[in-house]
Amino acid sequence: MKMKLNRRQAIVRATQATVTCALGSTLAPVFGVPAEPVASGADGNRLSIGIATFGFPGLTNAELARELAGAGLHTVQLFLSQKDSAFWRYNSRADLAPLTADRCQAIAETYRAAGLRIHSLGVYTNLIHPEPAERQANLAYFRAMMEVGRHMGVRTFITEAGHYLDPKAPEPAVPLHFQDAVWPQCVATVRELARLSEPFNATVLLEPFYRGFLASAKRVRVFLEEVNSPRIRALLDPANLIEVNDLEEMFQQLGPWIDCIHAKDRKLHTDAGVAAGAGSLDYPKLVKLAARHTPHAPLILEYVGPNDYKAALAHLRRALQQAGVAEAG
């Protein structure tokens, strides 16, 4: 189901379509109205599958590339978390100085030589930290990650809004991420992030989580509309929203913004995320909705490692088969 457009949005969408036909190419989103995604196949009935690398810290990049290629995968979402590139720090930042241009290129070539494309780089720094100096340092870290991406030939980066709890103070009555001042502050921060991404021709995908700042599909949509930048889009993680949104709602609210989907799972009314197939998510329905609304967005297995990724991959492939959707190479 597509979202209804107001009069202004409809005019902009019609203008985009007219100019697109005249130029023979798809325009970037403008005026806060995302362009419709282009299907990967004639009927949109193909989806690509990939895997996030942060669950494999005991393997080198070369070992991981061989392992994943052997499983028939073609796409990775690269977190700098492997044994020979352990730089990733969730909700924080790391010293990236050792990642020279040559080293970045060598890491990327390791995957490409094995037939794997790098869809995106995981950043996940804190964009809602209450200290202005920390937010600026995190933005500088994000820019440094974009420089890493430039050397690797990667232009898509993913992050959550971040979370913060002062360890020296009692827990506030209203969590920081829902306090009144944080919304406009985060809008300004992400607009600055969009500005920083311009020289890199980069796109940043924001991932929601029901216990954080981007707590529902609607809240993400409203936030993206207010940021109003084609550089800032969405990564849908259905398991992160299953407690507050039905699958149909997620795609209704976010469909035009989604460039990637995390394929993990979660049991209802529990906190911990789990591997695909170990929770309550209706994977055949998810696959059908993804093929209909976002066929260009890869399904990236997450929360898996050497011992369970094959079972999760088999579960996802069965869901594709049940939904009548082919796996793209």
pLDDT, one tens digit per residue, over 242-256 is 999 999 999 999 999
Whether the per-residue pLDDT at 3 is higher than 60: the answer is no
Least confident of 7-16, 120-129, 160-169, 255-264: 7-16
Percent of the chain with pLDDT over 70: 87
Q: Please give the Cα distance from 210 to 71 (Å, whole number).
A: 32
Per-residue pLDDT, averaged over 79-107, amounts to: 97
pLDDT, one tens digit per residue, over 129-159 is 999 999 999 999 999 999 999 999 999 999 9
Q: Please give the Cα distance from 26 to 38 (Å, whole number).
A: 9
Whether the per-residue pLDDT at 184 is higher than 90: the answer is yes
Positive or negative torsion for Cα 324, 268, 234, 98: negative
The two three-digit tokens of residue 161, written as one number: 């809004």
Tell me which DSSP letter residue 295 carries. T
Instruction: Give the model's pLDDT for residue 267.
Output: 97
pTM of the model: 0.87
Least confident of 17-21, 141-145, 200-204: 17-21
Least confident of 39-53, 135-149, 165-179: 39-53
Instruction: Give the model's pLDDT for residue 225.
Output: 98
Averaged pLDDT score across all residues of the chain: 89
Instruction: Give the model's pLDDT for residue 192.
Output: 98
Whether the per-residue pLDDT at 302 is higher than 70: the answer is yes
Residue 44: pLDDT band by 50, 70, 90 thresholds? low
CA dihedral 5, 8, 11, 17 (to 10 degrees): -60
Whether the per-residue pLDDT at 328 is higher than 60: the answer is yes
Whether the per-residue pLDDT at 266 is higher than 90: the answer is yes
Whether the per-residue pLDDT at 14 is higher than 60: the answer is no
- Is the Cβ–Cβ distance between 54 and 79 less than 8 Å? yes
The two three-digit tokens of residue 258, written as one number: 């989604």
Beta strands in the chain (DSSP E): 46-52, 75-78, 81-82, 85-86, 117-122, 156-159, 203-206, 232-236, 258-263, 265-266, 273-274, 299-301, 326-328
Residue reference for tokens 């909705």: 289
Per-residue pLDDT, averaged over 289-294, amounts to: 97
7 Cβ contact partners less than 8 Å away, ≥ 6 residues apart: none
